[in-house]
Amino acid sequence: MNRDQRDQGDHGRRPLIGITSYQDDTAWSVWHQRASLVPQTYVDAVVRAGGTPVLLPPQPGGTEHLLDALDGLLLAGGQDIDPARYAADADPRTGPLHPARDDWESRLLHSALTRDLPVLGVCRGMQLLNVELGGTLRQHLPDGSHQKVPAQFVRQRVETVAGSRLAALLGPDAEVSCYHHQAVERLGAGLRATAHSADGTVEALELTGRTFALGVQWHPETDPDDPRLFHALITAGQHAATHRENRR
């Protein structure tokens, strides 16, 4: 039995999950270069849930070719989205902008939604889902509310909306890890808010009429003991792969 056969196991191949990554100046060994990267926690979360992660750095084209091969799309967290994408001027507290990443992820997302490819958005990824469907963002929440100390997550409880996919996955509430200074303001077309924090901030979104299109404002990839969201993405990816094979 070769390695590919061992990886497939008894249940067929592991779903290929694309993870959006970004470009930054970084250092390793003796090198100081610009690199395409994503926190390892995203990769680990997909692997633990039974998927095979595929990193998707910003690039000029290739979205259709990539999505032909993928079974799901994970929109990772990161930098603030350019407010021009929702017709707003930049607040002074909005971070440095990365238009190449915005453009790349926008194309990936729209192509994925057109195909009904399973999508999970995390933090920035949820905000992108809202913006690309015509919604807006609050560019800065009260200091210390959802982001207190640099590089440290805020643990808080969120309440889910009864009857939502998220409630079915997590129950009526959950304790989550947040690190964000922006949040959803006006909902995009077809989106439903399915979780809120105690101060009323939208903490999750779901797109109606899709097999699996869900965004959370928190960072589930940082909690290895609660893989439910990633298991749901992988399960949806397995169904998508089976459906695609049946059409061939």
The DSSP call for residue 99 is H
Beta strands in the chain (DSSP E): 16-20, 22-28, 31-37, 52-56, 72-75, 119-122, 137-138, 154-160, 173-178, 183-184, 191-197, 202-207, 213-216
Nearest to 214 by CA among 233, 238, 237: 233
Q: Is 196 a catalytic residue?
A: no
Report the C-alpha dihedral over residues 66, 109, 247, 169, rounded to 10 degrees: 120
Pick the catalytic residue: 98, 105, 123, 181? 123
Q: Is 221 a catalytic residue?
A: yes
Count the neighbouring beta carbons within 10 Å of the beta carbon of residue 206: 21
Pick the catalytic residue: 98, 146, 180, 219? 219
Pick the catalytic residue: 105, 132, 206, 221? 221
Q: Is 185 a catalytic residue?
A: no
Which of the residues are catalytic? 123, 219, 221
